[in-house]
Amino acid sequence: SPTISEEALHQAILQCIQKVVEDKEDILKNLRDVQENIILFSGNQITPQSLEKQIDKLQQEMSALVKI
């Protein structure tokens, strides 16, 4: 981005990565909670493909949050 210095951008990215690493237990707990909810609320419709789609969706949401 022409309005943000490269150094500031690098620092922001590094801070985000450090935050994810620091909060990895919370992130893992949230992912486990999501998995449990998927299993509880999807009944017999659970397939590996449906779980993969949900994981992909969550990864996209996580990427969007990291960008913010």
Residue pLDDT, tens place only, 9-43:
899 989 988 888 788 888 888 888 888 887 777 66
Query: Rounded to 5, what percent of the chain is helix, strand, coil?
Result: 85, 0, 15
Please identify which residue in the block is written with the tokens 């309005």: 3
Prediction pTM value: 0.39
| Among the ranges given (7-11, 30-34, 44-48, 64-68), the one the predictor scored with the smallest mean pLDDT | 44-48
Task: Check pLDDT > 70 for residue 55.
Answer: yes
Output the pLDDT for position 45. 65
